[in-house]
Amino acid sequence: MKIGKYEINTVATGTLGLDGGAMFGVIPKVLWQKTNPADEKNRITLGMRCLLLQSDSKKILIDTGVGDHWDSKFSKIYRMDKSESELTRSLNKLGVKHEEITDVILTHMHFDHTGGATKFENDKMVPTFPNAAYYIQKDHFNWAKNPSDRDKASFFPERFVPLAEEGILKLIDGNEHFDDYIQFIVTNGHTFAHQMIKVSDSSNTLLYCGDLMPTASHVPLPYIMGYDLQPLVTLEEKKKYLSEAVEENWKIIFEHDPYITTATITKTDKGFVVNERYKDLV
Ligand SMILES: [Zn+2]
């Protein structure tokens, strides 16, 4: 699809298995397993869907998936599977090489979003996209370098600190505009200073909502991840942005939904629900 000067494509980067209970917080399994069936270790399948925006002068990648060079134990725990799709293969399908990426926008530094930002080369981690500037919220970067005991298993500073050391990490401060069509929108419920990416012109708006709502199953208000540091903040953020999505007919892109790429939202007497859903970006 096209918004403003940008041609927009999704970039599939494989799947993960994460504990269904942790993914749905206080929601009982009898409810969430209807849409997201669990395996024998209670893991549900999650996609890692990045976004590529191309104009005459820019090739912008939003998030990078889990990346490579994880040891086999870690890969097994998270059931990493790249048999169907992988970052480089998906970019190549779109005719894009690593060197051509001009900008990489990261929603946050959790390993399943940032792992592909760097690669292992000559005994060290180096940027996967050598000619790109990378963007993250300043407050999130500071948190990610020194997280709490509760969330430190989600961060691997050795994979993103090299971006800062290379001098290519740009620190964003709040809801800044990248250009006339792209805006960073900060949320603080999932982790501190996570950012969503809003892409809009006069007729269409896409919201790449990162981990505010990882899947379409997370649209109803109480469906909030157990991982979230501030679930009641997530609740208020969902109300705010789902209301705007209904009023202005936004399309929401779900980064982790293995089945649904994008959806519009409606509000019924049961609250916010998915209206039209699409398997592909249209
Ligand atoms: Zn996350």
Could you tell me the distance, in angstroms and rounded to a whole number, from the CA of residue 190 to the centre of ligand 1? 7
Could you tell me the distance, in angstroms and rounded to a whole number, from the CA of residue 278 to the centre of ligand 1? 23
Tell me, what amino acid is at 9? N
* pLDDT score recorded for residue 282: 75
Q: What is the 3-state secondary structure (H, E, C) of the chain?
A: CEECCEEEEEEEEEEEEEEHHHHHCCCCHHHHCCCCCCCCCCEEEEEEEEEEEECCCCEEEECCCCCCCCCHHHHHHCCCECCCCCHHHHHHHCCCCHHHCCEEECCCCCHHHHHHHEEEECCEEEECCCCCEEEEEHHHHHHHHCCCCCCHHHCCHHHHHHHHHCCCEEEECCCCECCCCEEEEEECCCCCCEEEEEEECCCCEEEECCCCCCCHHHCCCCCCCCCCCCHHHHHHHHHHHHHHHHHHCCEEECCCCCCCCEEEEEEECCEEEEEEEECCCC
Could you tell me the distance, in angstroms and rounded to a whole number, from the CA of residue 110 to the centre of ligand 1? 5
- Each residue's pLDDT expressed in tens, for the chain with a length of 282 residues: 999 999 999 999 999 999 999 999 999 999 999 999 999 999 999 999 999 999 999 999 999 999 999 999 999 999 999 999 999 999 999 999 999 999 999 999 999 999 999 999 999 999 999 999 999 999 999 999 999 999 999 999 999 999 999 999 999 999 999 999 999 999 999 999 999 999 999 999 999 999 999 999 999 999 999 999 999 999 999 999 999 999 999 999 999 999 999 999 999 999 999 999 999 987
* pLDDT score recorded for residue 237: 98
* pLDDT score recorded for residue 180: 98
* pLDDT score recorded for residue 140: 98
Residues surrounding ion ligand 1 at CB below 5 Å: 110, 211
Could you tell me the distance, in angstroms and rounded to a whole number, from the CA of residue 266 to the centre of ligand 1? 25
Could you tell me the distance, in angstroms and rounded to a whole number, from the CA of residue 180 to the centre of ligand 1? 27
* pLDDT score recorded for residue 221: 98
Q: What tokens appear for 2 in the block? A: 């096209």
pTM of the model: 0.97
Could you tell me the distance, in angstroms and rounded to a whole number, from the CA of residue 211 to the centre of ligand 1? 5
Could you tell me the distance, in angstroms and rounded to a whole number, from the CA of residue 113 to the centre of ligand 1? 7
* pLDDT score recorded for residue 144: 98
